[in-house]
Amino acid sequence: MNTLKVTFTSSIGRKLVMACTGLFLIVFLLEHLYGNLLLYFNDQGVAFNDYSHSAVHNIIIRVIEIFLFAAILIHVFTAVQLTAQNSKARPVKYQASSTSGGASWFSRNMGITGSFVLFFIIGHLYQFFLPYRITGLPAGVKLADMVKDAFQNPLYAGLYIIGVTFLAFHLSHALRSAIHTLGFNNKSYESFWEMASRGFAVFIWLGFSSFPVLFYFGIAGSTLK
């Protein structure tokens, strides 16, 4: 027990926790994107509404949802611990140039991009999860209609794109970092994983950004109310 405690309170142990929870959240992102793509079906939102309804009433999905929220909290808490630990170990900032070592601004400021992503998640949950799962939607209103109304609001559409942009920047380094932490990276594959991480980040950005753009300009959602 003591060995396990020491392992997961060490810097390496916390990085492993960050990597595992991060990869779990990435898998959820892909599943979430798949579900959202059902909005593009020309069926008055039936496929998307049925998918959302079945997710709510599926016990397996509900259990996974608990793990999802736990993973978010653990990921955030561990990130704060690592940041504090690194600051304590290096109380005086290096005098080197901010571009030293070839590290990008985003790789050196994962805490900043991660904070924006956290605020984005909270806002997203408030906008959709709270009324759909807790307070209840108004009579006669379907979730697909609610999504359309939100994305046709220029303020929300703009904030959503900003949030997804910070998410993409965060992912571009986070995925590569997780692969490295889990020991699946070496010099031979370093360039591949870097390219794959950036490609995945762009894929996620294009996928999620398409919703506010297409709904706002009326290209998608014409069959919804």
For the segment 187-201, what is each residue's pLDDT rounded down to a tens digit? 777 888 889 999 999
Quote the domain boundaries for residue 126. Answer: 10-89+106-216
Residue 186: which CATH number?
1.20.1300.10
Query: Any residues with CB less than 8 A from the CB of 164 and at least 6 apart, and which?
Result: 120, 204, 205, 208, 209
> How many structural domains compose the chain?
1
Which portions of the chain are predicted below pLDDT 50? Answer: 94-100
The answer to whether residue 113 is domain-embedded is: yes
14 located within any domain = yes
- Cα–chain center distance at 81: 20
4 belongs to a structural domain: no
Percent of the chain exceeding pLDDT 70 equals: 86
Identify whether the C-beta of residue 151 lies closer than 8 Å to the C-beta of residue 157. Answer: yes
Q: What confidence tens digit (pLDDT) does each residue in 18-55 have?
A: 899 999 999 999 999 999 999 999 898 999 999 998 88
Residue 222 lies in a domain: no
- Looking at the domain assignment, is residue 37 inside a domain? yes
Residue 105 confidence (pLDDT): 66
Q: Is 1 within the bounds of a domain?
A: no
Domain assignment present for residue 118? The answer is: yes
pLDDT for res 7: 56
